[in-house]
Structure 1
Amino acid sequence: MRVTLYHTNDIHSHLDAFSRIKTYMAEQRPKLDHPSLYLDIGDHVDLSLPVTEGTMGKRNVQLLNEANCDIATIGNNEGMTISHDALNTLYDEANFTVTCANVFDESGQLPNNFVESYIKEVEGVRFLFVGVTAAFTPFYRALDWLVTDPLAAIQHVVRQRKEQYDVLIVMSHAGIFFDEELCKLLPEADVILGSHTHHHFLEGKVSNGVLMAAAGKYGHYLGEVTLEIEAQQVVSKRATLHALGTLPEVKTDFEQEGRAILNRPVVTKPMTLQRETNFITEATYRLAQSVHDYIGADCTIINAGLMVKGYEQKILTEYDIHQMLPHPINTVRARVSGRVLKDILMTAREQTYMYEHAQGLGFRGDIFGGYILYNAGYIDSSNRYFVNGVEIQDDETYLLGTVDMYTFGRYFPMLKGQSMDYIMPAFLRDIFKAYLQEL
């Protein structure tokens, strides 16, 4: 018997590309003379697209339904960028199975509409599908979810389902390094469909007898895995990718759809918000102030490039605010010693990334921009640092307001390991919108 597994991952609401993938599968699947399944491996949702923001991901689920998705798992965008209640209702209208074995609420229950694993029988062969997502523990905890170790979760399912399946398919939104380790520790897996780190394999990669397949990001590829099965066992497996440029052209209008959904004024009078990345404007300073006030910090630091678009004398709508701050970025309250805070301010003073193109870590802009300090400063000539006009003391503790992308080690390595609270689920745009409404 032959079975084809189509797979996508990390679409990140690039719905124009996904529409082409959907159209291709609608044309090709009926032509096959053997069974096929379509699986999505997470991060289909990304609130940086207005229509996704305006529907809290439900438009994405509708499109997965239209693509005749059979099984999906979640990525960090589904799990961490929408509220607890929104995740619990995200898949209410899904016509497909959602499997994720390592996200639970505080009572130990899976999110609504989730299953820990799923067995699907295809022409007498029992396929076990288990999905896991990356364990961003503090982020999930801030949203009242518990996320467990994905390896332990998979091993638990495999033990629990022993002798109940013939073919094991792992749907991993935990990244390529996790998948490579999983090949060593779980050689009984037939296929690992990977994601999260946006990697791709043009023809798959076999490690320890396990086939790894992954389709990159943003709908650049549609993945296809072909399994040959005899006597309930996989005897041959191969993978390929279909590049987006080879798929049918499709006319879409998701941008207008999103603009219409978010076409609600958020202020009553025209406002000018100037966007610059290499110097502080009133708008970017006010953005820093909004974060500062929201967190209740002693001082705050952000970067100017977070403001992606500016406006001149415009009555701003939800859509405008979204376009200005499209990032799925949350704020952070960090407790740091004066010594560490001075190191942070000294690093910011260097403005290393002011003109750099930045990507990843939730950032949805282009140029990183200069750092903006609120309620903090320094005297360059004497190397002295201040919070609220008072010189910083090495052994005192300060509350620093900032954004989560600074806590992963690249921009401020000294922040890693510090005591901090991730303030969720509000994004920068939610905080700034509320601030503007109070002016």
Structure 2
Amino acid sequence: MKLTIYHTNDIHSHLHEYARITKYLAQERPKLQHPSLYLDIGDHVDLSAPVTEATMGLKNVELLNESHCDIATIGNNEGMTISHDALNTLYDQATFDVTCANVFDEQGRLPRNIVPSVIKVIEDTRILFVAATAPFTPFYRALDWVVTDPLEAIKDEIYTHSGEYDVLVVMSHVGVFFDEKLCQEIPEIDLILGSHTHHYFENGEVQNGVLMAAAGKYGNYLGEVTLDIENHKVIGKSATIYPVDTLPEVETNYEAEGKTLLSDAVIDHPVRLPRRTNMISETAYMLAESVFEFTNADCSIINAGLIVKGIDADCVTEYDIHQMLPHPINMVRIRLSGQALKQVIIKSQKQEYIHEHAQGLGFRGDIFGGYILYNLGFIESESRYFINGEEIENDQTYILGTVDMYTFGRYFPTLKEHAIDYLMPEFLRDIFKEKLLEY
């Protein structure tokens, strides 16, 4: 038997590219003279797309249905950027199986409509599909989910179904380094479909006899794996990817659809808030103030590039605010000493990233921009630092309100060493909308 497995990952709501993939699958799968499956390996949802934001990912599930998806797993975007209740209802209308073995509620139950693994029988061959997602523990806990160790979850699920399958496929939304570890730890895996780190393999990669396949990000590629199976065992396997530019072109209107869905007026009077990334603007200062107020902190810090688009309108809609702050970024409260806070201030004033093209960590803009400090001051020549006009004491504990992307070690490496409270599920745009109501 020959089995073709098509796979996508990390679409991140790039729905035009995904529409091209869908059209290709609709054209090519019926031509095959053997069975086929289509799997998505997570992060299909990304609330930076207006239509995804407006539907809380339900549009993405609708599109997966239309693509005749057979099995999907969740990535961190499905697991962490929508509320607990939204994840529980996300797949209510799914016509495909959804599997993930390492995310539970506080009663030890998987999210609704999600199962720990899937066994499909194709021409008498039993194929076990096991999936796991990246363990961003603080974020999941803030949403009342418990995320367990993905390696142990996969091993447990394989052990649970010992003797019940012939072929083993792992759907990993944990990243390429984890997948390489899987190859060494569980060499009986026939195929790993990888994601999360946005890597791709043009022709797959074999380690310790395990074939790894991955299809990049944003719908840039569609992956295809061919398994040759005899006597219920894989005797040959190969992988390739198809660049989206080689797939059929289509016309889509997802942006217009999202704009319509987000057309409700938030403010019915003129608002003029321009974007400036290299200076302190009214817009950036308001955003820093909104973070300060929402986190109930002593001070706050943001970067001006978080504002992706200014507002110049006589009536401000939900769409306008979404375009201004499209990031799936949450606020955090960080408890740190005065000495540590001084180091943050000093580092911020170097403005190392003011002109940098930034990506990742939830950032959905282009230029990082300069840092904006709120309720913080300093006299550089005297090495004196102030909160609310009072000098910062080295041994006193302060609360810094800021954005979660600063806690991952890229911009302020020391912050991840301190006590951090992740405030979820509100995004920057949610709290700024409330601030705009005062404008």
Q: TM-score range by the shorter chain?
A: over 0.9
Equivalent residue letter for 1:420: I
CA contact (8 A) 2:299 2:387 kept: yes
Equivalent residue letter for 2:353: Y
Cα separation, 2, equivalents of 1:176 and 1:132: 13
CA contact (8 A) 1:334 1:401 kept: yes
Equivalent residue letter for 1:392: I
CA contact (8 A) 1:267 1:315 kept: yes
Q: What is the CA distance between 1:312 and its match in structure 2?
A: 2.3
1:131 lines up with 2:131 in the alignment: yes
Matches within 5 A, 1:233-252: 233-252=233-252
CA contact (8 A) 2:268 2:314 kept: no
Q: What is the CA distance between 1:384 and its match in structure 2?
A: 1.1
Q: What is the CA distance between 1:438 and its match in structure 2?
A: 3.4
1:369 lines up with 2:369 in the alignment: yes
The answer for the alignment partner of 1:159 in structure 2 is 159
Equivalent residue letter for 2:434: A
Q: What secondary structure, in the 3-state scheme, does the structure 2 residue paired with 1:165 have?
A: coil
The answer for the alignment partner of 1:323 in structure 2 is 323
Equivalent residue letter for 1:380: E
Matches within 5 A, 1:220-231: 220-231=220-231
CA contact (8 A) 1:65 1:95 kept: yes
Q: What secondary structure, in the 3-state scheme, does the structure 1 residue paired with 2:316 have?
A: coil
The answer for the alignment partner of 1:191 in structure 2 is 191
1:118 lines up with 2:129 in the alignment: no
Matches within 5 A, 1:200-349: 200-349=200-349
Q: What is the CA distance between 1:251 and its match in structure 2?
A: 0.5
Q: What is the CA distance between 1:436 and its match in structure 2?
A: 1.2
Cα separation, 1, equivalents of 2:296 and 2:241: 49
Q: What secondary structure, in the 3-state scheme, does the structure 2 residue paired with 1:350 have?
A: coil
CA contact (8 A) 1:343 1:414 kept: no
Equivalent residue letter for 1:302: I
1:311-355 residue CA offsets vs partner (Å, 9 max, x unmatched):
224311000000000000000000001111011011001100001
1:169 lines up with 2:169 in the alignment: yes
Cα separation, 2, equivalents of 1:399 and 1:141: 21
The answer for the alignment partner of 1:7 in structure 2 is 7
The answer for the alignment partner of 1:428 in structure 2 is 428
Q: What secondary structure, in the 3-state scheme, does the structure 2 residue paired with 1:155 have?
A: helix
Q: What is the CA distance between 1:267 and its match in structure 2?
A: 1.1
The answer for the alignment partner of 1:47 in structure 2 is 47
**Percent of aligned pairs with the same amino acid:** 66
1:96-141 residue CA offsets vs partner (Å, 9 max, x unmatched):
0000000000000000000000101001000000110000000000
The answer for the alignment partner of 1:96 in structure 2 is 96
Cα separation, 2, equivalents of 1:358 and 1:349: 18
Q: What is the CA distance between 1:57 and its match in structure 2?
A: 0.2
The answer for the alignment partner of 2:437 in structure 1 is 437
CA contact (8 A) 1:228 1:237 kept: yes
Q: What secondary structure, in the 3-state scheme, does the structure 2 residue paired with 1:115 have?
A: coil
Q: What is the CA distance between 1:399 and its match in structure 2?
A: 0.3
Q: What secondary structure, in the 3-state scheme, does the structure 2 residue paired with 1:275 have?
A: coil
The answer for the alignment partner of 2:178 in structure 1 is 178
Q: What secondary structure, in the 3-state scheme, does the structure 1 residue paired with 2:349 have?
A: helix
Equivalent residue letter for 1:412: F
1:74 lines up with 2:71 in the alignment: no
Cα separation, 1, equivalents of 2:313 and 2:4: 55
Q: What is the CA distance between 1:268 and its match in structure 2?
A: 2.5
Q: What is the CA distance between 1:20 and its match in structure 2?
A: 0.2
Q: What secondary structure, in the 3-state scheme, does the structure 1 residue paired with 2:182 have?
A: helix
CA contact (8 A) 1:104 1:146 kept: yes
Q: What secondary structure, in the 3-state scheme, does the structure 1 residue paired with 2:33 have?
A: coil
Q: Which runs of 4+ in 1 moved over 3 A?
A: none
1:231-284 residue CA offsets vs partner (Å, 9 max, x unmatched):
110000000001111100000000000000000111121111111000011111
The answer for the alignment partner of 1:400 in structure 2 is 400
Equivalent residue letter for 1:168: L
CA contact (8 A) 1:13 1:52 kept: yes
Cα separation, 1, equivalents of 2:371 and 2:138: 25
Cα separation, 1, equivalents of 2:3 and 2:288: 54
Cα separation, 1, equivalents of 2:312 and 2:4: 53
1:336-392 residue CA offsets vs partner (Å, 9 max, x unmatched):
011110110110011000011000000000000000000011111111111111111
Cα separation, 1, equivalents of 2:281 and 2:291: 16
CA contact (8 A) 2:137 2:147 kept: yes
Q: What is the CA distance between 1:194 and its match in structure 2?
A: 0.1
Q: What secondary structure, in the 3-state scheme, does the structure 2 residue paired with 1:245 have?
A: helix
Q: What secondary structure, in the 3-state scheme, does the structure 1 residue paired with 2:267 have?
A: coil
Q: What secondary structure, in the 3-state scheme, does the structure 1 residue paired with 2:355 have?
A: coil
Cα separation, 2, equivalents of 1:146 and 1:408: 20
The answer for the alignment partner of 2:385 in structure 1 is 385
Cα separation, 1, equivalents of 2:13 and 2:268: 31
Cα separation, 2, equivalents of 1:379 and 1:91: 55
Equivalent residue letter for 2:144: D
Q: What secondary structure, in the 3-state scheme, does the structure 1 residue paired with 2:431 have?
A: helix
For these two proteins, the number of residue pairs brought into alignment is 439
- Which sections of structure 1, spanning at least 5 residues, go unmatched? none
- Which sections of structure 2, spanning at least 5 residues, go unmatched? none
Cα separation, 2, equivalents of 1:299 and 1:386: 10
Cα separation, 2, equivalents of 1:246 and 1:218: 15
Cα separation, 2, equivalents of 1:119 and 1:199: 27
Cα separation, 2, equivalents of 1:311 and 1:23: 36
The answer for the alignment partner of 1:351 in structure 2 is 351
CA contact (8 A) 1:198 1:217 kept: yes
Equivalent residue letter for 2:326: P
The answer for the alignment partner of 2:20 in structure 1 is 20
Q: What secondary structure, in the 3-state scheme, does the structure 1 residue paired with 2:128 have?
A: strand
Cα separation, 2, equivalents of 1:313 and 1:217: 34
CA contact (8 A) 1:106 1:144 kept: yes
